[in-house]
């Protein structure tokens, strides 16, 4: 007996990505409206410690907001504040705390877990929400440039394990994403800057005119011009969203264009014990793979020069010593393993046009790293 | 500033559900063909201890099969044997072992994790495969009636936590399901019987003629007639698959028709410390909710009688003492929480037609339990 039944179906996903300001002003109906439904759902807030320190009145505001919108949702419990940044993805204590809370407070699949914080906190809470009861509704309120223009609007979550970034996680679209741009005002300079590298990344592989816009506005961005940053965040978020919706949202293939510059970045984050932030590592990874593209004869010297210059103008480092070790090259293998299948690396054919390759020349990678060291020193000479 | 971008996309899923015999006969190309691709993938087998004890030559056969099909796949490591049944979902040791293996053996998203076993083992391995690297390809080889006709062909996985069934898990379609009917020959009687309750369940809510077929074949099924069982498994698997593909595969609503009889079943499994198997608990849950439907004036006495009789003929118990405690009623609340939203319970309008209700009368539930106790004693009198 041999019989085969083909099972086929499609699962539709839909979520709004909203841009607002003063989200917890009781006059702002946005968040309440997102949750409003037939029954009044419970909402459970998880907040990034860095955010709650920078916004000491946030928790009070949430309580007032909930009181003003009792017809739309009720708080399941007091907001939970957890350690911020990569720590909450590295050790599983916070992750476990969020899972425990779903059990302790009877948070069901029609309740909402609302995460407020940077990309790391969103990734961790998103993963917990995705697996408790096989998926509790989840709202993301990203508070960094990186999470507002990239990580927070996407479909991936995760935590680190076995010393590897995002080793455990799922693809799980949120119920809604709400970007409150006022959060960005309290970012440290390095976190303000950090997320800009994801905009450079997506511009370089897809949109030369956006890249030129970033070049023209680099000084204003570095000077923390909020209007310019708002434009950058919205445009970059849109490009990420279009890419995700376009094809293979759950990444079943080996191709991951939005990970341009990321094979080295992920390894650098780990090699520096997360001293280097994701966005900072991406800036270096972009510089590395752009230099490699130049050495391969794909980019012109002028194009490379422009890329290096904009990264510098924004205040990023171009080099860290970990870039020169042999161990960096393990990042290629780990990147391949994480995607699965064939090694697939995005390089630049020209500014605004990425091209995928399936092998990299390790000597040329090392040569590119050496060049970055030189660029870095030149930059310091220029500015000193 | 208020701006909203709607993100919408659909994710297509497709997987074959195959029925075969002698799967690991080197002449049977099915499994190798399922994995064959551009590159030769790694395969990692996880095997239910009960299955490997009942089939002491299985691991040798897998090695020979792999050797004979080197062009299609390679073994990542020796098969991993883990404790069977609910234990592997209750304590997280086996779950952790599977995750560790993905890291130890470099099992990537284009490799295959192949689970061979009962529904419990498949649920646990499926969950590990779903979250490592955000999802490794996964093939299920169900070896019980229940897993071949119900749990194994679906899209859910999970483990137990906080003393609750399937508290952690995801919706993650497999790459393929392969039902090798020869596995069923070695089942203990209670596991052979157990899965038949899922067929009764789906027949009662959707298909009166299938129910009458089961009634007509109950004695043959109880006598372990393999040809009849094959027909039952294929038909029941098809009905489950159609239901899943039809509407809301990832269960975003509160309705879960395939969980007819399950609110009490899940609670009974837990209250009896899993002494009562899932399928056995479902048989009791079906009897309970059918009796309740009768007491509500929905089913006729003759219909109820036929339902009780077929459950008896198959050799199921109709009653366990845990059914009478007040604590059983907590199962309603837990069921609601697990689904989220409104309480939604399937009852029977008539044989072959389920109907959903949003409240249950607790006194009538207790009355139904008392009736089951009587039915159980009558049955013993009849057979003694
Ligand atoms: N899921 C995805 O698709 C995806 C994509 C890219 C990056 N990521 C992940 O995102 C993480 C990086 O995110 P990130 O760059 O937002 O950094 P982060 O989350 O590590 O936050 C950086 C610091 O900023 C603080 N902070 C956050 N918001 C603040 C605010 N409004 N005011 C003051 N301080 C604030 C945090 O407390 C933290 O100390 C990495 O873990 C990366 O892997 C995920
Ligand atoms: N994911 C879903 O959609 C879904 C649906 C229904 C049930 N389930 C789950 O499935 C589980 C029950 O599955 P089950 O009924 O298959 O029981 P089980 O997995 O507990 O297995 C029962 C016993 O049979 C043994 N066994 C398995 N195959 C054998 C074989 N061929 N020969 C001899 N012994 C064999 C096992 O070792 C075990 O001891 C429960 O955990 C239940 O929650 C999941
Ligand atoms: Zn990134
Ligand atoms: Zn069941």
- Domain chopping of chain B, boundaries: 17-186, 189-378
State yes or no: pLDDT of A212 exceeds 80. yes
* Proximal ligand: closest to the CA of A338: 1
In chain A, residues 86-125 whose CB comes closer than 8 Å to chain B: 99, 103, 106, 108-111
A329 vs B63: CA distance, rounded Å: 34
CB pair distance less than 8 Å for B20 and A9: no
Q: Which residues of B touch A341 (CB under 8 A)?
A: 39, 108-110
State yes or no: pLDDT of A331 exceeds 80. yes
Ligand 3: distance of its center to the CA of B13 in Å?
Answer: 27
Q: How confident is the model at residue A381 (pLDDT cuts 50, 70, 90)?
A: low
A277 vs A189: CA distance, rounded Å: 12
Ligand 2 and B322: CB distance under 6 A? no
Residue pLDDT, tens place only, B214-272: 999 999 999 999 999 999 999 999 999 999 998 889 988 877 888 999 999 999 999 99
From A289's Cα to the closest Cα of chain B, the distance in A is 24
Q: Two tokens at A281?
A: 């590592």
The verdict on domain B189-378 having CATH code 1.10.1380.10 is: no
Cα–Cα–Cα angle for A129, A238, B11, nearest 5°? 55
CB pair distance less than 8 Å for A133 and B20: no
Phi, psi (degrees; rounded to nearest 5) at A138: -140, 130
Residue pLDDT, tens place only, A223-235: 999 999 999 999 9
A136 vs A358: CA distance, rounded Å: 38
Contact assessment for residue A180 and residue A141, using Cβ atoms and an 8 Å cutoff: yes
State yes or no: pLDDT of A178 exceeds 60. yes
3-state secondary structure of B116: strand
Residue pLDDT, tens place only, B5-36: 999 999 999 999 999 999 999 999 999 999 99
CB proximity A231 to B under 8 Å: no
Ligand 3: distance of its center to the CA of A195 in Å?
Answer: 8
Give the nearest partner residue to A234 out of B3, B17, B20, using CB atoms.
B3
Beta bridge mates, A178: A18
- Which of A5-9, A72-76, A104-108, A256-260 comes out lowest in average pLDDT? A256-260
Ligand 2: distance of its center to the CA of B55 in Å?
Answer: 16
Ligand 2 and B174: CB distance under 6 A? no
* Chain A interface test: which of B3, B8, B9 (most A C-beta within 10 Å): B9
* Chain B interface test: which of A1, A5, A251 (most B C-beta within 10 Å): A5
| Third-level CATH fold of A17-186 | Rossmann fold (3.40.50)
State yes or no: pLDDT of A69 exceeds 90. yes
pLDDT score for B384:
40
Contact assessment for residue B241 and residue B149, using Cβ atoms and an 8 Å cutoff: no
CB proximity B334 to A under 8 Å: no
Q: How confident is the model at residue A338 (pLDDT cuts 50, 70, 90)?
A: confident
* Chain B interface test: which of A14, A134, A256 (most B C-beta within 10 Å): A134
Helices (H), A207-329: 208-222, 226-246, 262-271, 278-295, 301-313
A292 vs A309: CA distance, rounded Å: 16
Q: Two tokens at B277?
A: 């198997």
Strand pairing class (B164-168; B159-161): antiparallel
Helices B196-206, B208-222: crossing angle, 10 deg rounding? 160
3-state secondary structure of A74: strand
Average pLDDT over residues A150-168: 94
pLDDT score for B337:
81
Contact assessment for residue B289 and residue B348, using Cβ atoms and an 8 Å cutoff: yes
Taking the CA of residue B147 as reference, the ligand 2 atom at the shortest distance is: 16
Q: How confident is the model at residue A382 (pLDDT cuts 50, 70, 90)?
A: low
Helices A301-313, A362-383: crossing angle, 10 deg rounding? 50
Q: Two tokens at B157?
A: 């996985």
Give the HSE-up count for residue B140: Cα atoms under 13 Å, Cβ half-sphere: 36
| Residue A382: count of CB within 10 angstroms of its CB | 8
Residue B374 DSSP one-character state: H
CB proximity B171 to A under 8 Å: yes
State yes or no: pLDDT of A16 exceeds 50. yes
Residue pLDDT, tens place only, B274-288: 999 999 999 999 999
pLDDT score for A383:
46
Q: Which residues of B touch A6 (CB under 8 A)?
A: 14-17
pLDDT score for B383:
46
CB pair distance less than 8 Å for A103 and B162: yes
Average pLDDT, chain A: 95
> pTM, whole model, 2 decimals?
0.94
From A122's Cα to the closest Cα of chain B, the distance in A is 16
Q: Two tokens at B117?
A: 């076993």
CB pair distance less than 8 Å for B341 and A39: yes
Low-confidence ranges of chain B (pLDDT < 70): 1, 381-384
């Amino acid at each position: 007996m041999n019989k085969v039944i083909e099972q086929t179906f499609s699962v539709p996903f839909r979520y709004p990505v909203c841009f607002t300001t003063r989200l917890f002003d009781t006059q702002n109906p946005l968040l309440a409206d997102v949750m409003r439904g037939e029954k009044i759902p419970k909402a459970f807030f998880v907040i990034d410690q860095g955010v709650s320190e920078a916004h000491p009145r946030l928790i009070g505001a949430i309580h007032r907001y909930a009181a003003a919108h009792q017809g739309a949702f009720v708080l399941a419990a007091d907001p939970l504040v957890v350690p911020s940044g990569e720590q909450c993805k590295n050790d599983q204590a916070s992750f476990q705390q969020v899972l425990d809370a779903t059990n302790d407070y009877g948070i069901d699949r029609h309740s909402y877990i609302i995460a407020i914080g940077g990309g790391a906190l969103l990734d961790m809470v998103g993963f917990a929400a995705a697996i408790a009861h096989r998926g509790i509704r989840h709202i993301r309120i990203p508070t960094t440039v990186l999470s507002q223009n990239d990580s927070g609007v996407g479909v991936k979550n995760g935590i680190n394990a076995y010393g590897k970034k995002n080793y455990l996680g799922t693809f799980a679209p949120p119920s809604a994403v709400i970007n409150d741009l006022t959060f960005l005002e309290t970012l440290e300079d390095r976190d303000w800057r950090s997320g800009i590298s994801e905009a450079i990344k997506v511009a370089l592989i897809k949109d030369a005119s956006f890249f030129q816009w970033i070049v023209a506005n680099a000084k204003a961005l570095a000077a923390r011009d909020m209007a310019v940053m708002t434009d950058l965040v919205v445009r970059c978020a849109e490009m990420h969203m279009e890419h995700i919706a376009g094809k293979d949202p759950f990444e079943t293939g080996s191709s991951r264009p939005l990970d341009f510059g990321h094979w080295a970045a992920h390894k650098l984050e780990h090699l520096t014990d997360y001293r280097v932030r994701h966005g900072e590592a991406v800036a270096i990874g972009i510089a590395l793979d752009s230099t490699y593209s130049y050495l391969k004869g794909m980019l012109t010297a002028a194009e490379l020069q422009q890329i290096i210059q904009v990264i510098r103008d924004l205040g990023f480092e171009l080099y860290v010593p970990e870039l020169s070790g042999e161990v960096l090259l393990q990042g290629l293998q780990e990147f391949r393993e994480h995607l699965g299948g064939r090694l697939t690396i995005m390089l630049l054919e020209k500014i605004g046009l990425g091209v995928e390759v399936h092998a990299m020349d390790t000597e040329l990678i090392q040569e590119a790293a050496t060049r970055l060291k030189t660029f870095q020193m030149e930059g310091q000479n220029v500015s000193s």
